[in-house]
């Protein structure tokens, strides 16, 4: 972005440097030399402090499924503001949203609210330990599940630390205790035979297997049917719980990713789209497992509090947002996702540049490689691929389209075919700047 188009954002960043480490309070929005500061949004467009407008294909990292300033959500929030924003008492608003979620997803017999996806994952893992009496968890290599120490293990492991068929447990945050690494068993994604061998070897001490059905950080590659069937069979055989992280993938369909895939986990974590643009998270699952949170007989097996849990603002915003997500709305949005993926694939072919797009429904991720992508290791970009993607992302930002630096994109309901075609046209132009010709076949 040129200086003339970012002077106000630069000034804001200089102020932020005085009061925040690195001028930042959210690592994911950092962008060198400084981020662009948002001031407003409407529908699928965002405006920054310098008067630049962007077509928003990031939507606050997939959470704004109805785009910005949705009038139905806004009106629900305005009504609640006049009544109060939070109390040291429950309100009917949490019952309404819980009823909606339980009616929509067969595997949701009971729901418990948190304030973020990270909190939801943390409480799901605690619930699994409390229910089974076992200390360890298993997770897939390269998958992101929020900022709980145990969920972060092997999030961004590099080739030199991968290990062989049995992936190593690698710390993500400096200072992570060795005891945390010892209590996380890492399995390869989408490799059922290897993963089953590892899970069965540790079955007596594993409380659960945590999996995102389409993990973004691991390439936004859908889980195969064979892999999911293996997980459901092994967890059933061994008494482990199967925990789905649908914080992002819940937007794949009316009944979430599990409805699309036809697999019912024991617990599910959800967030983002269920809050209508406000902080939220939730753990949902079977009555039997969710009973660990029940306080009626004294201290629960898994105590769980939170000052803003189920606050009425998030509850009414989430209810309004979810009511707008009818089966027809999902069909329309997912069809736009298909149009976007087809357009991206066509643009790569027309430009003669190596690349592909992964994802499903209203989610997609761009990769600058033609190598078959099946798991985290195959999807991890080389230095050259990373540089090419950075060039594409920066071109798109400079030409008014927001996508993640990883190539992640998320659609919103205010979009139509015109916005998809606008995105594809700018992406096609961006490919011409990469200087990355297609590699000759061997």
CA angle 113, 251, 78 (to 5 degrees): 55
Active-site residue, selected from the candidate residues 272, 354, 375, 376: 272
Contact between residue 191 and residue 375 where contact means Cβ atoms under 8 Å apart? yes
Active-site residue, selected from the candidate residues 56, 183, 212, 245: 245
Using CA atoms, how far residue 410 sits from 231, 275, 421, 424, in Å, is 28, 16, 15, 14
In angstroms, the CA 285 to CA 269 distance is 9
Contact between residue 184 and residue 138 where contact means Cβ atoms under 8 Å apart? yes
Residue of 402, 408, 390, 276 whose CA lies nearest to 337? 408
User: What are the φ and ψ backbone dihedral angles of 55, each rounded to 5 degrees?
Assistant: -80, 115
User: What are the φ and ψ backbone dihedral angles of 114, each rounded to 5 degrees?
Assistant: -130, -170
Using CA atoms, how far residue 283 sits from 235, 298, 318, 320, 326, in Å, is 19, 21, 15, 20, 22
178 a catalytic residue: no
The total of other beta-carbon atoms located within 10 Å of residue 180's CB is 16
Write down the H helix ranges in 204-326: 225-238, 256-261, 287-290, 312-324
Q: Sign of torsion, CA 184 190 191 193?
A: positive
Active-site residue, selected from the candidate residues 144, 148, 227, 376: 144
For β-strands 363-367 and 356-360, DSSP reports them as antiparallel
In angstroms, the CA 274 to CA 266 distance is 20
What lies within 8 Å, CB to CB, of 324 at 6+ separation is 66, 70, 72, 73, 413
**Cα of 5 vs its chain's centroid, Å:** 31
What lies within 8 Å, CB to CB, of 74 at 6+ separation is none
245 a catalytic residue: yes
48 a catalytic residue: no
Active-site annotation, residues = 144, 245, 272
């Amino acid at each position: 972005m040129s200086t003339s188009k970012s002077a106000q954002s630069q000034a804001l960043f200089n102020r932020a440097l005085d009061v925040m480490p690195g001028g930042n309070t959210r690592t994911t929005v950092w962008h060198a030399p400084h981020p662009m500061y948002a001031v407003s949004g409407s529908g699928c467009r965002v405006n920054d402090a310098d008067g630049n407008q962007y077509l928003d294909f990031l939507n606050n990292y997939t959470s704004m499924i109805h785009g910005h300033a949705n009038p139905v959500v806004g009106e629900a929030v305005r009504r609640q503001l006049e009544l109060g924003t939070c109390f040291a008492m429950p309100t009917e608003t949490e019952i309404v949203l819980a009823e909606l979620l339980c009616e929509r997803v067969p595997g949701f017999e009971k729901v418990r609210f948190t304030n973020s996806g990270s909190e939801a994952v943390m409480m799901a893992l605690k619930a699994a330990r409390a229910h089974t009496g076992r200390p360890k968890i298993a997770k897939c290599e390269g998958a992101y599940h929020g900022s709980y120490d145990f969920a972060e293990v092997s999030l961004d492991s590099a080739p030199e630390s991968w290990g062989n068929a049995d992936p190593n447990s690698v710390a993500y945050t400096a200072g992570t205790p060795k005891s945390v690494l010892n209590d996380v068993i890492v399995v390869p994604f989408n490799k059922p035979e290897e993963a089953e061998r590892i899970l069965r070897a540790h079955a007596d001490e594993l409380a659960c297997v945590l999996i995102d059905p389409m993990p973004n950080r691991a390439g936004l590659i859908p889980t195969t049917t064979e892999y999911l069937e293996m997980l459901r069979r092994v967890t059933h055989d061994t008494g482990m719980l199967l925990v789905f992280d649908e914080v992002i993938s819940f937007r794949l369909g009316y009944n979430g990713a599990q409805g699309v895939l036809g697999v019912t986990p024991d617990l599910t974590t959800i967030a983002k789209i269920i809050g209508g643009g406000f902080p939220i998270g939730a753990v949902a699952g079977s009555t039997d497992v969710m009973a660990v949170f029940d306080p009626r007989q004294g201290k629960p097996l898994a105590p769980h509090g939170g000052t803003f849990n189920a606050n009425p603002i998030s509850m009414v915003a989430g209810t309004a947002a979810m009511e707008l997500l009818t089966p027809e709305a999902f069909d329309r949005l997912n069809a736009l996702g298909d149009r976007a993926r087809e357009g991206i694939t066509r643009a790569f072919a027309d430009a003669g540049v190596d690349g592909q797009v992964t994802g499903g429904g209203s989610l997609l991720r761009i990769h600058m490689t033609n190598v078959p992508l099946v798991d985290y290791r195959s999807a991890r970009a080389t230095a050259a691929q990373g540089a090419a993607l950075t060039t594409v992302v920066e071109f798109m930002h400079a030409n008014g389209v927001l996508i993640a630096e990883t190539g992640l994109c998320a659609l919103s309901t205010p979009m139509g075919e015109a916005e998809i075609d606008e995105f594809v046209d700018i992406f096609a132009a961006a490919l011409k700047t990469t200087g990355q010709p297609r590699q000759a076949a061997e």
